[in-house]
Amino acid sequence: MRRPGAHPTAHQAGAPLMSRQAGAERRGGRAGRIAARPAAAAPAPTGAPRPSAARTADTGATLLLACGALAREILALIALNGWDHLELRCLPADLHLRPALIPDAVEAAARGDGRPAARIKVVYADCGTGGLLAARCAALGLEMIPGPHCYSFFDGNAAFAARGDAEMRAFYLTDFLVRQFDAFVWRAMGLDRHPELRDDLFAGYEDLIHLAQTDDPALDAKAREAAVRLGLRHVRRDTGYGDLAGFMARAADAV
C-alpha cells in the first residue's frame, strides 16, 4: 500500500480528475429505458458550440444542455432510442478545468435559448462547483442530472456511493478521458513539463479505474497505457451509460 501523499486537486487538474479523496464530501437505481450498449459509440461532434446570446427558434424539442465531454454518449443514446425530440447543445469540455465558470456558462446558454425552463435539462452533475451549479439551476427552474460528477452517474450514483472508502485510492477515467488523456490529465497537470512530479501527485493512489461506457479494445489499450504512465494498477469496470440513460429517458418521456 502506498503512503498517503499529495493528490491532484480540481484547481490543478480540473473537475474530471476527481477521486474519492478529493470529492468524498460531495458524494450523493437506474430508471427509465436503459439502452443496449453498442460496440463503439456514435461519433462526437467535431467541436463543442459556444453558448450564443441569440435566441433560437422554438421547435418544441427538449434541450439537453450538456458538458462537451458527454457528447458522444448522449448522441449514442439519442440514436439508439430514436429520441429525435431531444436536442443536444454542448458547452466546451475544458470548462472542467475551470469549474467556477460552469454555473455562469450554463445560465448564459439557458437564457440565450429562450425555450421554457421545463424543456431544458442540464446534463452536468456538480462537477467541482461545490453546489454552486445546483443552486443556480434551482434559481432558474432547471432540472440537472443528479450526482457529484460523471464518474458517479456513469457507475450509477447508488453503486458509486456504496463503494465508499473501498475506492478511496482510486483515480477514475471515463471513455472521454481515456481518449483525451494527454490533454485533460498529462498536460493539464504539467506532467509533460515536469514528469518528476508524478510520484508525488499520485503517491496516495493505487488503481486507475476505467469506467467504460463502450466495448472498445482500442480504448482499453489506451487506458492500460495511461495506468502505466501514472504508475497505477489498471482496473476496467463496464458501466455502460449508467444513470445517464435513465435521466435522458425521463427527459424524452416528458416531452
Q: Within a domain: residue 101?
A: yes
Name the band, by pLDDT with cuts 50, 70 and 90, for residue 166: very high
On the question of pLDDT at 79 being above 80, the answer is yes
Average the pLDDT over 30-58 and give the result.
Answer: 38
- pTM (2 d.p.): 0.80
Q: Cα–Cα distance between 77 and 151 in angstroms, integer?
A: 18
DSSP string over 100-126: GGHHHHHHHHHHHH-S-GGGEEEE---
Please, how many CA atoms are within 13 Å of residue 94, restricted to the half-sphere of its CB? 10
Q: Find residue 204's DSSP bridge partners.
A: none
Q: Within a domain: residue 77?
A: yes
Average the pLDDT over 237-247 and give the result.
Answer: 98
On the question of pLDDT at 220 being above 80, the answer is yes
How many domains does the chain divide into? 1
Q: Given this model, what pLDDT does residue 96 score?
A: 86
Q: Which helix (H) or strand (E) holds 170?
A: strand 170-174
Q: Within a domain: residue 73?
A: yes
On the question of pLDDT at 4 being above 50, the answer is no
Q: Given this model, what pLDDT does residue 22 score?
A: 54
Q: Cα–Cα distance between 36 and 86 in angstroms, integer?
A: 19
To the nearest whole number, what is the mean pLDDT of the chain? 83
On the question of pLDDT at 38 being above 80, the answer is no
Q: Cα–Cα distance between 89 and 68 in angstroms, integer?
A: 8
Q: Cα–Cα distance between 73 and 34 in angstroms, integer?
A: 13
Q: Within a domain: residue 198?
A: no
Q: Given this model, what pLDDT does residue 41 score?
A: 36
Give the range of the structural domain holding residue 103, as residue numbers without chain letter. Answer: 26-34+43-150+242-253
Name the band, by pLDDT with cuts 50, 70 and 90, for residue 185: very high
For the chain, the farthest-separated pair of C-alpha atoms sits apart, in whole angstroms, at: 57
Q: Within a domain: residue 60?
A: yes
Average the pLDDT over 44-73 and give the result.
Answer: 68
Q: Tell me the three cell numbers of residue 173.
A: 477515467
On the question of pLDDT at 93 being above 90, the answer is yes
Average the pLDDT over 230-255 and give the result.
Answer: 96
Name the band, by pLDDT with cuts 50, 70 and 90, for residue 27: very low
- Quickly tell me which residue has 490533454 as its cell: 183
Q: Within a domain: residue 81?
A: yes
134 Cβ contact list (under 8 Å, min separation 6) = 126, 144
Name the band, by pLDDT with cuts 50, 70 and 90, for residue 44: very low
CA-nearest of 47, 23, 51 to 129 is 23
Find out whether 185 and 213 touch, Cβ atoms under 8 Å: no
Q: Find residue 235's DSSP bridge partners.
A: 209
Sign of torsion, CA 250 25 154 189?
positive
Lowest-pLDDT range, 22-36, 142-156, 181-195, 239-253?
22-36
Q: Within a domain: residue 47?
A: yes
